[in-house]
Amino acid sequence: MSRKEFRTLADPEEVRAAIDGLALGGGTETVDLRAARGRVLAERVDAEVDVPGFDRASMDGYAVRARDTFGAGEAAPERLALAGAVHAGEAPTVTVDPGECAEVSTGAVLPEGADAVVVVERTEEIEVDDGTTIEIRDAVAPGDNVMTAGADIAAGSRALGAGRRLTPREIGLLSALGVDAVPVRAAPRVGIVSTGEELVRPGEDLDSSRGEIYDVNSNSIAAGVEAAGGEPVVYPHAGDDYEELERLLRTAAEECDLVVSSGSTSASAVDVIYEVIEDRGELLCHGVSVKPGKPMLVGRLNRADGGQSAYIGLPGYPVSALTIFRMFVAPAIREAAGRPEPASATIDGELAVEARSESGRLRLLAVGVADAGERRLVYPVDKGSGATTSLVAADGVVPIDPDTDYLSAGESVTVRLFSADVSPPSLLGIGEDDPAVDRLLDALDTPRYLPYGSRAGLARLRDGLPDFAVVAGPADDVDAVSVARWHREWGLVVPAGNPADVSGLADLVDRDLRLVNRGTASGLRTSLSNAVAALADDRGVSRHDIVEAIAGFESAVDAVETPARRVDDDRGDAGLGLRSTAERLGMEFVPLGEQPVELLVASDRLERSAVDELREAAAKLPDRCRSVPGYRFGGE
């Protein structure tokens, strides 16, 4: 294999400088004011009209010559003859001569002659022989209760400067000026090209036997581009073929200000991209000393007209791609779109567990954040390269500088939240994968639950990390309070009709049948081990003998439904699982026992209000689980 090695990695500052040097659009376009929210003014807007356009009554009342009211008061009212009325939206047909007044409503044009308004509350209408007289019980000065033409903003005045972000308030002012279209910074067009033979568009059929996976980056990067103020243009994804990639990148370069590819994770595809950029543009950086994210490219792509578009190549793994996008690309798009950098959203906390880093590269450690009463705990979220669930299980990153290779538990760290509006989950739970827990979570506001198994739940509870753990089986030696307890029926899930006629564990030992087992972290595995031990005792053999006789015992899967699904998929004869799973999937169930499951809240979290919600939800759980077969609440 020949591969491009990223031996000399650029440091983040060099990459930033290279990206700063790319031109990412920055033009101007005119948009309808109705569609302008969130956009950024490209040019200063001056008022072209006076606002208001006329001397305007700002209260309901009577337009007067102020001079006529001098000395008027509650005790000494002045009487003025009513000459007529002016309402908002009509041209005055009346003139106010000395000794006269005119009824005006708020917003009306002040009639000629008048220079002030007396509010209606300080007047009284009196019928007299020759018409109507108004008793004025207030002295006003010229201009009182009148907004003179241009007093709000005068024609020719600077109204809003370039660079101003348009919120409902700016849109209001522009409306007042009669503006219905505004020049705004053009959103840079960002072409998105995912590469990899294995990619399939979400919504289409997937052939896993060919190693196909859904294309994650096209959608997530497009959403990121949009959030940064760019206009994403998603291109079909491309394989590793030079011709195809070259054609696609050339098209994207013609149509966009910036082309962002996300490399296939294999080095061979990176090679091809590399080659295309070198042949059809110029490469400014390759490789950045950030983890995750090493295989990053920065350059330019030539256009037919002699111009160039900017080009940035992201790594293929979704977490890496989004991390690099967020760190380097989003700021450049915001800059081009004239959007302000979002307020830096950082929070401090202490590491709940130790963290290791590879020295020599800036590590962006994906972490979750948990509130532990007074303290705020930060824990790494890392299911390994390529895991997409890390995308949503983390709240932000802790940058670990290249000289640091170890952070101990308890160390203070600063978390850079993914965005200012990320709010860490209200509750953190760790433990058994269980359908009742899913229903519990549905009843909570913003929980986070890591289904890492009963063993992990207990261990982390002892470490002081989660608010609660869900433990199937014994839960000793832990400073926690049980807030709910249920039993679930466990056993072997077999295909509908039970074709192999499995009746119990002994069949797996004695016959040529294949088990799909769960991992050792799971409480179900513990129950199975106990059943194995009992069978060994019965038969007077060692447990090892029994285990050795069960094909598939040692290779295990992580999730509660997976063994059943594998069996359904003809990849085993019996799967360790729950009655509820069997019924949900239309399969058959061979019961082996009932297992207690407990919801344990850490004693030091009992005062948290989110824990009150958890207790309430737990109290309603029997109701919510009424339709789940094989579940029993209360009792022993």
Give, as ranges, the residues between 212 and 241 that touch a copy of itself (CB under 8 A): 212-224, 226-227, 234, 239
> Out of 17, 128, 181, 496, which residue is the one contacting a copy of itself (CB under 8 A)?
181
**Cis omega (within 30 of 0) for bond into 292:** yes
Identify which of 246, 264, 235 has the alpha carbon closest to the alpha carbon of residue 301: 246
Q: Measured between alpha carbons, how far is 165 from 37 in angstroms, rounded to an integer? A: 8
Distance CA 401, CA 415 (A): 13
Residues within window 373-402 making contact with a copy of itself, judged by CB under 8 A = 383-389, 391-392
Token digits of residue 303: 């256009």
Task: Determine, following the binding rule CB under 8 A, whether residue 132 of this chain makes contact with a copy of itself.
Answer: no
In whole angstroms, the minimum distance from the beta carbon of 437 to a copy of itself comes to 8
> Which of 72, 83, 102, 174 lies at the binding interface for a copy of itself (CB under 8 A)?
174
**Token digits of residue 550:** 């069960």
Report in angstroms how near the CB of residue 503 gets to a copy of itself at its nearest: 26
Closest CA relative to residue 135, chosen from 156, 115, 121: 121
Single residue of 262, 320, 581, 595 touching a copy of itself by CB under 8 A: 581
50 binds a copy of itself (CB under 8 A): yes
Residue that is written with structure tokens 């491009």 in the block = 4
Q: Does the footprint of a copy of itself cover residue 247 (CB under 8 A)?
A: no
- Judged by CB under 8 A, does residue 619 bind a copy of itself? no
Site for a copy of itself in 415-474 (CB under 8 A): 418-421, 423, 433, 438, 441-442, 445-447, 449, 451
Task: Please report where in the chains the tokens 């101990």 appear, as a residue.
Answer: 408
Output the smallest distance, CB 5 to a copy of itself, in A.
9
Work out how close the CB of 232 gets to a copy of itself at its nearest, in angstroms, rounded to a whole number. 9
Site string (541-570) toward a copy of itself, x via CB under 8 A: --------------x-xxxxxx--x-----
The helix (H) or strand (E) run that includes residue 31 is strand 28-32
| Rounded Cα–Cα distance for residues 502 and 489 (Å) | 17
Among the residue ranges 337-345, 355-363, 494-502, 545-553, the one whose residues contact a copy of itself (CB under 8 A): 337-345
Q: Are 295 and 266 in contact (CB under 8 A)?
A: no
- Residues in 18-37 at the binding interface with a copy of itself, rule: CB under 8 A: 33-34, 37
Q: From CA 99, how far away is CA 119, in angstroms rounded?
A: 17
Of 198-206, 482-490, 589-597, 622-630: span binding a copy of itself (CB under 8 A): 198-206
Residues 58-77 that bind a copy of itself (CB under 8 A): 58, 60
- Check residue 123 and give left, alpha or beta (phi > 0: left; psi -120 to 50: alpha): beta
Q: Does 530 bind a copy of itself (CB under 8 A)?
A: no
Of the residues 191, 230, 292, 318, which one makes contact with a copy of itself according to CB under 8 A: 318
Pick the closer one to a copy of itself by CB: 34 or 539: 34
Q: Are 185 and 43 in contact (CB under 8 A)?
A: no
Site residues (CB under 8 A) for a copy of itself, limited to 93-122: 103, 105-109, 120
Residue 153 in the binding site for a copy of itself (CB under 8 A): yes
Contact between 409 and a copy of itself by CB under 8 A: the answer reads no
Min CB(49)–a copy of itself separation in Å? 7
Best CA proximity match to 283, nearest among 296, 262, 297, 302: 297
Q: How far is the CB of 636 from a copy of itself (least distance, A)?
A: 29
One residue of 133, 251, 266, 498 binding a copy of itself per CB under 8 A: 266
Residue of the chain from 4, 23, 54, 353 that contacts a copy of itself (CB under 8 A):
54
Query: In this complex, which beta carbon is closest to a copy of itself, that of residue 181 or of residue 619?
Result: 181
**Minimum distance between the CB of residue 567 and a copy of itself, rounded to whole angstroms?**
13
d(CA 434, CA 621): 13
Contacts of 584 (CB under 8 A, 6+ apart): 435, 561
Q: What are phi and psi of 597, to 5 degrees?
A: -125, 140
Of 42-50, 346-354, 456-464, 467-475, the segment contacting a copy of itself by CB under 8 A is 42-50
Give the number of residues written for the chain.
636
Q: Enumerate residues 349-378 that contact a copy of itself by CB under 8 A.
A: none
| Dihedral angle over CA of 416, 422, 424, 426, nearest 10 | 170
Q: Which of 264, 289, 320, 517 binds a copy of itself (CB under 8 A)?
A: 264
- Per the DSSP assignment, residues forming a β-bridge with 490 are 578, 593
Q: Tell me the angle at which helices 267-280 and 242-255 cross, rounded to the nearest 10 degrees.
A: 50
Q: How far is the CB of 623 from a copy of itself (least distance, A)?
A: 18
Residues in 75-94 at the binding interface with a copy of itself, rule: CB under 8 A: 86-91
Helix (H) or strand (E) holding 233: strand 231-234
- Count how many Cα atoms sit within 13 Å of the Cα of residue 341 in the half-sphere of its side chain: 9
What token pair was written down for 228? 């940064």
The C-alpha atoms of residue 50 and residue 79 are separated, in whole angstroms, by 34
By CB under 8 A, residue 346 contacts a copy of itself: no
3-state secondary structure of 623: helix
